[in-house]
Amino acid sequence: MTNSGDSVSIASPDKPEPIGKAITTKWAPLKKTIYSLPALQETLRAANQLYIKLISSIVTP
């Protein structure tokens, strides 16, 4: 397995829905530019928080 950025994706909102309908998000490829770093940071921070939450819930005997 290589450490390439080809498979990095972010959640991006769909087209605006009419009033009263739920907004959905889909995963979209992340462009490899400096301008996409804030979106990547947000995605990775959320993944890290989920991981920390999982690890902290493990009870050791």
- Per-residue model confidence as pLDDT tens digits over 6-41: 555 666 555 555 666 666 777 778 888 888 888 889
- Token pair for 35: 């301008």
pLDDT above 50: residue 1:
no
User: What's the half-sphere exposure (Cβ side, CA atoms, 13 Å) at 1?
Assistant: 3
pLDDT, average across residues 35-48:
89
Q: Is the pTM of this model over 0.75?
A: no
pLDDT above 90: residue 5:
no
Burial of 8 (0-12, 13-18, 19+ CB in 10 A): middle
